[in-house]
Each structure stands twice: as structure tokens, then as C-alpha cells.
A and B are shown apart, each in its own frame.
Chain A
């Protein structure tokens, strides 16, 4: 067995040193009645593993092998060769959580840089070392806001926040005696501002909106922050398409207190939905309540700059029941991928990616809305994703196009929404040729009776 480096001779000598005659003797504490070998096939060699997984992989339409327009919280953006290959380095891949700073300065400094990038993009003061993904990041942000507003029990959420994020919040909140109020979208596709203000009262601890929202519409963060502050609540910004942070007004400059969501677009491959990369950022005044891991700068015994995990006393392994969260792992390797990506692209590259995504989406949006059988239900401004309404059920049409090498969009029926609506996302990775091909295919599908 190639992963087990103990020879028979070694084993015999080790057993003698321990003072037992067989390995079985070491398992006396496990009752016989619970012992059972699993019924599994014999081991596969590496060649066979490649064959098996290659076969399974071939069955999946994916962004590298189709004209790809899927979004809804997970986006196909450029990732660089240097980032992809740097993650193969053993010192990054196989290292553990940096609890011992003397032997983890690489990981610690990289996280410190990641925290900085997130602050620069969100316009806030402090960011953590990452969270699992966007939905649980929203949960953590809401729980943080609740701790900062003791005595308040209500969270106001826009219905234009990703449905899977809201469902996750409901799962967590059921057991915590906290109330959720959801606010609908208006006719332009953005959260209804009047309804939002009306839903907030002295019991509210957080007001959360997403931008670009689930329908792709760009919302104004100030609507949430101003309305929240008027009643002593905190304004929360939710971001599912983080590439937008390079082009759109930042949460920080619009008075938002906590920004959270999904940073996958910033250099993390889609990975079929995980591992991806949750993030959370806040203002200095609130930093002691931030969940998850944090890396701080300090020095060592000789005065050299050094980094270490800090404020760990808020974490589960020390505070136990009183922890700010039960989170243990972060998304270390994905945060590294994002750090490399953001560092490489930087000020101009991140902007250019956002600009190209937007311009290409505008092009496609224009061409689709010109098709007679299709319309755009929401007229508000979009970043790189938009809702389309077609003449008939979207899911079968999209399945048909998928068989022809075009992944045209995400039908809202997957979220219990109107069956003839679907979301189309565009990024810098889409070519004009692909977009024209999609338009032709939609025209053809629309024209068929």
C-alpha cells in the first residue's frame, strides 16, 4: 500500500518495543461486537483512479469546454497560471493552521495581505482571514451585528439577496430566537426603498442588501446604511460577485458597517460550488466582535516584524459556549489563491476585469433584449448579470442548449421562481463570438413553437 511506509520487519520490531504480539492487541478497547470490515472493492491503482475520475469528469459540461453564461452566486473569471501553479507548492498545500507562528510566517503573512486586499476593496478597516462561503458569511455578519446591538432581535433582509443565503440564515436563526423580515424588490429590480425603511424599527439590529443583487441589479448601499442608522441599527452589505468591488461604489464609502459575502470571483476557480471563499470586513470600532480567524502584525524577540493569529480568545476553542462563532477552519488555500490573484492584477487589473465584464454584459444584454420573444423584466442598472424572460419554460431550453455546448443561464425555476425567467452572467472570459452564438441559439429556440 503505497501510502503506508511501514515494512513487515519494522512492524514486528515496533510491536516488540510496545510489548504486544500483534496489532490487534492494540485494539482491545474496541468491543468485538462493533467490529466490522467495510464491504468495498479492492484498491485501485493510480492509473485506474485516473480512468475512473476522467470518465466521471467527461460527463460534466463546464466553463472550459462550453460557451459559459452561468452565475447566480458563482462566476467564471480569469485565474492566472502563476496562481494555479503556486498552490501546488507543498509548503502552501500541506501546511496546517498557523497556530505556531515561528513555523508559519508564510501562511500568516499571506493572510495579512489577504485581509488588507479585502479592506482596500470594501473600503472598510478590518477584515478576517476568510470564512467558508457567502451564505455562512452573511450568517456570521448578522450574528456579529446582533452582538453589537444587545437587546435587539430583528434582522431586515432584502428579498434580492441570494435565495440560498437567505435559506441558510433561516436555518441558523430558527434555533436562536431571532426574527427575520424580508423586503421585496421594486419594479426596477432593486430593493423597494420605502418598504425597506418601513420594515426597520428599534428592534432591528441589522439591515442587509446585496449588490449586485440576485437579479444582477446594482443597488445603492446608502439606502441600507442611512435607513439602518436612522433607527440605531447596523448597515450590512452582501456581495456575491466580488469582481464588482473594483468598479462599483464600495460599501465603506457609503456608510456600511459590515460587508460580507463571496470572494470566489477574485481568483478562485468555481470548483462546482466549493471550496470557495467567504469574506467579512468591518469598521475598527467593531473589530473585537469579528468572527473567525484574524492575523495581526507584531514583532519577535529580536525585533523583526512577524505575524500571528490574534484575538483568538473570541474563538471557539477558548471561549467554548461564549464564542463569537463555532467556526474553526477558514478557507486558507483559497485565501492564498485570492491574494495571489489580487496582488497580480492589482489596482489596474481588477478594474479592467470588472470593466470588461460589464461592457460585455451590456453588449449581450442589448442583443438579447432586441430579440422579439425576449424581454428584460428589470430596467435597473446591472454589473455583469441580468434577468431574461423568454417565451416559454427556460429549464428545458437551457438543457437543450447545454447539449449543444452552450450553458445559457440559470433558470429561476431552480429557486422556485417564474419558470420562463433565467439569469445570464457575462465575464471577461466570454468572447463576442460566444455571445453572438448564444443570441442565435436563443432566437432559434424562441422562434420555435
Chain B
């Protein structure tokens, strides 16, 4: 369900690592919870974030969610297509619905994130608590 090659956070973001670039988005569970996304607020290029910092917001008709970066780094690319057509994030959250790309500043931080399996369990336990 959740792609194996990605790493996940408790706040429902994922990151794909290619060398020193980390591509970040929100998970399928997050897009389902939010409902149809109507607006994205994403940072400018060059912004530098520490892990777990807020880098933007994703807005649906019924909710606004802050976006938190899984890893530290500098923003080197922003998905303009997603900003223009926020529905892409609902349709393809792990592919065309990516949000930002960071030039990562640390190799170590990824160890703190969850695997696909751990994230799957985490989501299940959250659902049970409802």
C-alpha cells in the first residue's frame, strides 16, 4: 500500500531519497483524511528548514493541515503543477503529487523515520483509537 522505498513521519509526510535530494509529499492516508485538496501553500526556493519544522500548509474544504518536513535541508524545487492543480495530490500522492525537494543536510536523520510497514501499523492504531 505505502511504497516500500519511502520513509514516513507520524504527521503523515513521506520522503524519497536520491543521493542528497529528498522529495517530500503527504501520504495516501493524509490525502484521504483531508478530502479534496483545494489549496497548497509552499515555500520559496532557498528556504532552509530543520527536521520537523513547518514548511507550508495543505487545505481542503473541511480542514487545513500544516506540513512538517521529515528531514533538514534547503528547498531546491517546488511542485508548481501541484500548486496550480491541487487535485494531483489526491490522485497521485506518491508520484506527481510530490510537494517540495530539499537538498538534504544530514545522512543521519533518516534513521528517525518510519518504514512503510511501521507507518502502516501506526495508521491502523490511530484508526482504532477513533
Contacts and interface: CB of A to CB of B under 8 A. Distances in A.
14 contacts: A288-B39, A312-B61, A313-B59, A313-B60, A313-B61, A313-B62, A313-B63, A313-B64, A314-B64, A318-B62, A318-B63, A318-B64, A319-B64, A322-B64
Nearest to A323: B64
Contacts of B61: 312-313
Interface string A298-338: 00000000000000111000110010000000000000000
Contacts of A312: 61
Interface string A27-62: 000000000000000000000000000000000000
B59 to A, nearest CB: 5
A319 B41 CA distance: 15
Contacts of A288: 39
Interface string B57-79: 00111111000000000000000
A170 B129 CA distance: 45
**B60, B61, B63 — most chain A CB neighbours (10 Å):** B61
Interface of B: 39, 59-64
A136 B77 CA distance: 41
Contacts of B60: 313
A136 B62 CA distance: 27
A20 to B, nearest CB: 32
Given A314-B64, A318-B62, A322-B64, 11 more contacts: A288-B39, A312-B61, A313-B59, A313-B60, A313-B61, A313-B62, A313-B63, A313-B64, A318-B63, A318-B64, A319-B64
Contacts of B64: 313-314, 318-319, 322
A171 to B, nearest CB: 28
Nearest to B59: A313
Interface of A: 288, 312-314, 318-319, 322
B61 to A, nearest CB: 7
Contacts of A319: 64
Contacts of A313: 59-64
A312 B60 CA distance: 10
A314 B64 CA distance: 8
**A288, A313, A318, A319 — most chain B CB neighbours (10 Å):** A313
A399 B28 CA distance: 71
Among all A-B residue pairs, the 5 with the closest Cβ atoms: A313-B64, A313-B59, A319-B64, A318-B63, A313-B63
A209 to B, nearest CB: 32
A314 B38 CA distance: 13
Nearest to A310: B61
A120 B61 CA distance: 28
A319 B61 CA distance: 12
B1 to A, nearest CB: 28
B9 to A, nearest CB: 20
A318 B57 CA distance: 14
A301 to B, nearest CB: 14
A291 B95 CA distance: 35
A314 B61 CA distance: 10
Contacts of A318: 62-64
B86 to A, nearest CB: 13
A313 B64 CA distance: 6
B49 to A, nearest CB: 17
Nearest to B64: A313
A415 B72 CA distance: 56
B54 to A, nearest CB: 11
